[in-house]
Amino acid sequence: MSLTSVSADWRATLPAAQRLGEGEFTWFGLRLYSARLWADGPVLDWSRPFALELTYHRSLSRKTLVKASVEEMRRLGAGSVTAQQLDAWSREMQAAFVDVRPGMRITGVYLPQKGCRFYIDGRLRHEVADVAFAQAFFAIWLDPRARDPQLRQRLLGLAGNDRGH
């Protein structure tokens, strides 16, 4: 599918999306971004499309975003992800991401059996036709071994009404 045939807004892919949960990611006390997970139903289902929306509170370079993502994908896929895959995935993220400043939003849309799409402030930026990449990327937040288990619980709507940090 060419990028020109894809709607510019991620919500066209998930017209019935509802927010499952949301939370903040902090690093050494600095609030880096707010995250929201959107899905068609009341629970996350990896066999259906879903969206992860990150709204940044600090300026971060594309290089920093890619490096942090690759490190987490390597950690979570220890032993099953090759150096060649990580190199290819790094190139995909270089194409998908931009330097962010406060208020900017990057939304990733997971497409089962296809891959994923990345939107910057609601506009399509890049599509990745690699199912393994898509699963590894979204696992950064959604895998039970995620670096921030409390954020994962909040995103999945499993943390009750707790909206704190």
pLDDT tens digits in sequence order for the chain, 165 residues long: 334 444 458 988 888 899 999 999 988 888 999 999 999 888 999 999 999 999 999 999 999 999 999 999 999 998 899 999 999 999 999 999 999 999 999 999 999 999 999 999 999 999 999 999 999 999 999 999 999 999 999 999 997 544 443
Does 55 map to a domain?
Answer: yes
pLDDT of residue 78: 85
Residue 161 located in a structural domain: no
Q: Does some domain include residue 145?
A: yes
Please check whether residue 68 lies inside any domain of the structure.
yes
CATH code at position 49: 3.50.70.10
User: Is 126 within the bounds of a domain?
Assistant: yes
Residue 66 lies in a domain: yes
In angstroms, the first-to-last Cα distance of the chain is: 40
Cα 20 from Cα 8, distance rounded (Å): 23
Nearest-CA neighbor of 105 among 123, 127, 121, 126?
Answer: 121
User: Is-contact 65 97, C-beta < 8 A?
Assistant: yes
Instruction: Provide the domain limits for residue 32.
Output: 3-155
Domain count, the chain: 1
111 in a structural domain = yes
Which of 102, 100, 106 shows the shortest CA–CA distance to 141? 106
Q: What is the pTM of this model?
A: 0.89
